[in-house]
Amino acid sequence: MTVFKLAVVSAGLSKPSSTRLLADRLAEATVRRLAAEGRQAEVTVIELRDLAVDIANNFVTGFPAAALRGAIDTVTEADAVIAVTPIFTASYSGLFKSFFDVIDDDALTGKPVLIAATGGTPRHSLALEHAVRPLFSYLRAVVLPTAVYAATDDWGTAGDALTDGLPGRIDRAAGEVAALLAGRGPAARPALPEQVVPFAEQLAALRA
């Protein structure tokens, strides 16, 4: 059976947090949709609040601590990423942005990313489109069409789990992740870099 690696990044600051709750709901829905297609997912959750000091130190030293290195490897080696941030001042949190700043610019190229956010009011939902989506587009990730925003009031409305409300948005986004993964298969291990022959040696070989 095909097993996909799913990295879930939660930038919630409180414990428990609505950001982590949304991240867990998205991960569970994605696992469920993959299982319906005969595929399994190995989920690893990264709580950025536990890495805040390591992230700050990385900017000063240029080297990630072991825990941060592990989190970076989890994200870069995953088949897909679920990235969830609280919205502060109409944008992603500083901790969320800082984590993705310490990841190599090319590490997320072509990787499916489901973006989501939490906030106190529905008015902040546009932050997903004017801040979070451009961030991952810059990193050349494949950002899923459905972005999931959960305001405080969304948690109190059930809606139809398959058509509207927060449950419907979660299910739709999870379906997009599952469909994209099903079409491409698990990520292959990166190929070993080709040996680079200095230009001078290439010219010398031509003269021989």
CA–CA separation, 120 vs 161, rounded Å?
22
Whole-number pLDDT of residue 194 = 41
Residue in 50, 101, 44, 100 with CA at minimum distance from that of residue 77 = 44
Give me the chain's average pLDDT, please: 87
pLDDT digits (tens, 9 = 90+) for 109-163: 999 999 999 998 888 899 999 999 999 999 999 999 999 999 988 887 655 444 5
**CA torsion, ordered 128, 133, 134, 137, to nearest 10 deg:** 180
Q: State how far the Cα of 117 lies from the Cα of 109, in Å rounded to an integer.
A: 22
H-type alpha helices, the chain: 18-36, 52-61, 66-77, 94-101, 127, 133-138, 165-184, 199-207
pLDDT digits (tens, 9 = 90+) for 71-109: 999 999 999 999 999 999 889 999 999 999 999 999 999
> Which pLDDT does position 51 carry in this prediction?
97
| Residue 193 confidence (pLDDT) | 40
| pLDDT surpassing 80 at residue 184 | no
Find the mean pLDDT for residues 9-21: 93
169, 155 contact by CB (below 8 A) = no
pLDDT of residue 199 exceeding 90, the answer is no
pTM of the model: 0.84
User: CA gyration radius for the chain?
Assistant: 19
Q: What is the pLDDT of residues 21-43, one digit of tens each?
A: 999 999 999 999 999 988 999 99
Per-residue DSSP letter, 178: H
Backbone angles phi, psi at 105, to 5 degrees: -60, -30
Burial grade of 77 (CB within 10 A; 0-12, 13-18, 19 or more)? middle
Alpha helices in 17-89 (DSSP H): 18-36, 52-61, 66-77
> In this predicted model, what pLDDT tens digit does every residue of 48-71 receive, in sequence order?
999 999 999 999 999 999 999 999
